Amino acid sequence: MAKHYDVVIIGAGPGGYTAAMKAAEFGLKAVVIEAKKFGGTCVNRGCIPTKALLHASNMFHMMQNCDEFGVSTDFISFDFGKMQKYKKAAVKRYRQGIESQFDKLDVDVVYGTALLRRDKTVEVNLSGGGKEYFQGEAVIIATGAVPIMNHIPGADLPGVWNSDRLLAAESWNFDRLVIMGGGVIAVEFATIFNNLCSHVTIVEKGRHLMAPMDDVVGERLEEELKRKGISVYCNSTVTEITQENGSLCCTVTPNEEGESITVRGAQVLMAIGRKPDLSGLLGEDMSLEMENGRLKVSKEFETSEPGVYAIGDVAAKTLLAHVAAAQGTYVVERIAGKTHSVKLEVVPGGMYVPLPIVPNCIYTNPEIATVGITAETARASGLKVRCGHFSMRDNGKSIITGEEHGFIRLVFEAYSNTIIGAQMMCPRATDMIGEIATAIANGLTAEQMSFAMRAQPTYNEGIGAAIWDAMSGDVE
Ligand code: FAD
């Protein structure tokens, strides 16, 4: 006999747990089913552990380079075991924070693997043994995504890992690392290993790193990584991995003309993308339409089965924790018949181009953050733009902290002067992008943004300077 709920949620990552919190807020009877650990990829093997290791490795890197600030350190070393302990403690504290919020909510949490059957019935193989059945007025699939493995020869050799396995490993080999892929996960791991003095090589199939972002960001990031001693081969593919004298030898083949070369690594990280986690989710009496390898959903995130929704990495094109959370909120608001409190894009008055208001952040050194659209995308959509540029070389705080490599670029629609996008590569870009996301979400103009005072000395002053540059600049 199935237990009846208003909402049955499969997966307790940011999408699932946010949906459950919203359901409780609206007085809906909800259950969340989780196969592994509460918090999903983000908390356990994604955002939080990587940022903890980035922070720890950045500290080591800074200590090694603090002579110019008059700080001498005779002997600096790192203890990776302790870094791992700190990472685990950060993950645990964060996860427990979310779990304790749940303790106060009227939401049931069930540990086990869910199988979706017809009539919005979910069969759960409980982690502790046995089966239970749940039926929902609505079902939300929030099962996330898993790393894609490229089955080239040698892909199964020991030492060829994906991000899940690397983050789960107790010890890392800091000799040499080869990374297949040049997206966000790749460049963040490259930064951690580089900070800890490992030689890193990135092999990216596309013309630039960070392919979905604009070319300027990709090119500048490539320059920065190379300046730090990271080898980058774009427009190239790892076609084979062999093992020789204890090393992994990667054959790097240029996509167009040119000779293949061999790059050696003690470890190889495959960071070539992620695919929806649908393994074993659908019972034999249930099928859902797919589109481009993901679950097909409507604008309201409803799958081809009425009343069954899919949110987050399992269905989204943008695989980010805050996107999954926003979609979770959106869907539960729809189920509860409430007005939507979240927007994923806006169309400013007088404009016909939808602007994504999702901040994209990369925690490299310097950080990268973008929101809205680039000048190139705007022009391709028929808009005229006015751009504001600022080089962090001229920013007081950057001079003080010695972090002068970077820029801020703001994009305004030329006639209304409304902000439509920003690309930043500078210290604290991932925090500063929030100001621009707020401005875009509220359709602010350059003049309105310039009313705000920005403290001296802060990195934020760069935003003020870029606004002034745009206001005094020509239409492009
Ligand atoms: P997930 O977080 O993947 O959660 C899905 C949950 O469903 C999992 O817990 C899984 O165990 C469970 N599940 C799966 N199948 C079943 C089943 N059949 N029954 C029951 N439970 C099931 N995003 C950011 O925004 N910022 C970052 O800095 C960032 N860094 C990242 C770094 C790495 C290395 C990785 C891999 C990802 C990173 N991401 C980051 C992406 C982010 O983690 C995901 O976008 C986010 O976790 C997606 O949330 P979700 O709820 O859709 O799925």
* DSSP one-letter string for 399-413: HHHT----EEEEEEE
Instruction: State how far the Cα of 22 lies from the Cα of 3, in Å rounded to an integer.
Output: 21
Judged on CB neighbours under 10 Å (0-12, 13-18, 19+), 60 is middle
Element (H, E) at 368: strand 367-372
Residue ranges at the known binding site: 51, 181-188, 204, 273, 313
Residue with the nearest Cα to atom 33 of ligand 1? 46
Residue 275: is it exposed, middle or buried by C-beta count within 10 angstroms (0-12/13-18/19+)? middle
Choice from 8, 109, 111, 143 to test ligand 1 binding pocket (greatest atom count within 8 A of CB): 143
| pLDDT band at 257; cut points 50, 70, 90 | confident
Give the distance (Å) from ligand 1 centre to CA of residue 349.
35
CA of 413 to the centre of ligand 1 (A): 35
Predicted pLDDT at 413: 95
Ligand 1 pocket mutation pick from 32, 33, 41, 317 by most atoms within 8 angstroms of CB: 41
Q: How far apart are CA 107 and CA 7, in angstroms?
A: 10
What does the buried/exposed string (b/e) look like for 310-337 if buried means 16 or more CB atoms within 10 Å of the residue's CB?
bbbbbbbeebbbbbbbbbbbbbbbebbe
The CB density around residue 445, as the number of other CB atoms within 10 Å, is: 18
178 lines ligand 1 (CB under 6 A): no
**What's the confidence (pLDDT) of residue 435?**
97
Peptide bond into 348 cis (omega under 30): no
Q: Which pLDDT value is given to residue 6? A: 98
Report percent pLDDT > 70 for the chain: 100
DSSP-based three-state secondary structure for 39: coil
Indicate if ligand 1 lies below 6 Å from the C-beta of 359. no
Residues of each annotated binding site for FAD: 51, 313
Beta carbon of 378 within 6 Å of any ligand 1 atom: no
- The Cα–Cα gap between 20 and 109 comes to 10
Give every CB contact of residue 339 below 8 A, 6+ residues apart in sequence. Answer: 333
Question: 3-class secondary structure for 419-453?
Answer: EEEEEEEECCHHHHHHHHHHHHHCCCEHHHHHCCC
Structural domain boundaries in the chain: 3-146+276-336, 160-272, 355-472
Q: CA dihedral in degrees (252, 269, 50, 310; nearest 10)?
A: 100
Average pLDDT over residues 387-409: 95
Give the pLDDT band (50/70/90) at residue 1: confident
Q: What is the pLDDT of residues 181-194, one digit of tens each?
A: 999 999 999 999 99
Mean pLDDT, the chain, integer: 94
Residue 441 pLDDT? 93
Q: What is the mean pLDDT of residues 445-471?
A: 96
Asked whether 367 lines ligand 1 (CB < 6 A), one says: no
Tell me the CA–centroid distance for residue 17 and ligand 1, in Å.
Answer: 11
| Token duo for residue 296 | 């097909």
pLDDT over 90 (residue 470): yes
- Position in ligand 1 atom list of the atom nearest CA 39: 9
CATH class of the domain at 160-272: alpha beta
Inter-residue contact 14 to 32 (CB < 8 Å): no
How far is 463 from 216, CA to CA, in rounded Å? 18
**Which residue has the CA at smallest separation from atom 8 of ligand 1?**
40
What's residue 303's pLDDT? 97
Average pLDDT over residues 369-378: 93
Query: Stretch 25-52: mean pLDDT, rounded?
Result: 97
| Binding-site sequence positions for NAD(+) | 181-188, 204, 273
Query: Is there a common fold for 3-146+276-336 and 160-272?
Result: yes
pLDDT recorded at residue 434: 96
pLDDT for position 258: 86
CA 163 – CA 295 distance, rounded (Å): 23
Which ligand 1 atom lies nearest to the CA of residue 47? 30
One-letter amino acid at 466 equals: A
pLDDT digits (tens, 9 = 90+) for 195-254: 999 999 999 999 889 876 777 788 889 999 999 999 999 999 999 999 999 899 999 999
Kindly indicate the confidence band of residue 278, based on its pLDDT and cuts at 50, 70 and 90: very high
Q: Residue 35 Cα, ligand 1 centroid: separation in angstroms?
A: 12
**Dist. CA 135–CA 470, nearest whole Å:** 55
Which carries the bigger pLDDT value, residue 344 or residue 54?
54
- Is residue 475 over pLDDT 80? no
Instruction: Estimate the share of the chain in helix, then strand, then coil, as percent rounded to the nearest 5.
Output: 35, 30, 40
Q: Which two tokens stand for residue 398?
A: 């950057």
**What topology is assigned to 3-146+276-336 in CATH?**
FAD/NAD(P)-binding domain (3.50.50)
User: Confidence band (pLDDT; 50, 70, 90) for 285?
Assistant: confident
- Over residues 328-339, the pLDDT tens digits come to 999 999 999 999
From the CB of 49, is ligand 1 less than 6 Å away? no
Burial of 81 (0-12, 13-18, 19+ CB in 10 A): exposed
CA–CA distance, 420 with 254 (Å, rounded to integer) = 37
Task: Name the CATH topology of 355-472.
Answer: Enolase-like; domain 1 (3.30.390)
**Residue whose CA is closest, atom 12 of ligand 1?**
11
| 13 CB within 6 A, ligand 1 | yes
Backbone angles phi, psi at 223, to 5 degrees: -60, -45
Contact 116, 283 (CB under 8 A): yes
Nearest CA to ligand 1 atom 26: 47
What one-character DSSP code corresponds to residue 394?
G
Q: Quick check: bond before 366 cis, omega within 30? A: yes
How confident is the model over 6-32, as a mean pLDDT? 98
The number of the ligand 1 atom at minimal distance from the alpha carbon of 51 is 28
Q: Tell me how far apart the alpha carbons of residues 345 and 367 are, in angstroms, rounded to a whole number.
A: 24
pTM: 0.95
Ligand 1 centroid to 82 CA: how many Å? Answer: 26
Query: From ligand 1's centre to the CA of 95, what distance in Å?
Result: 13
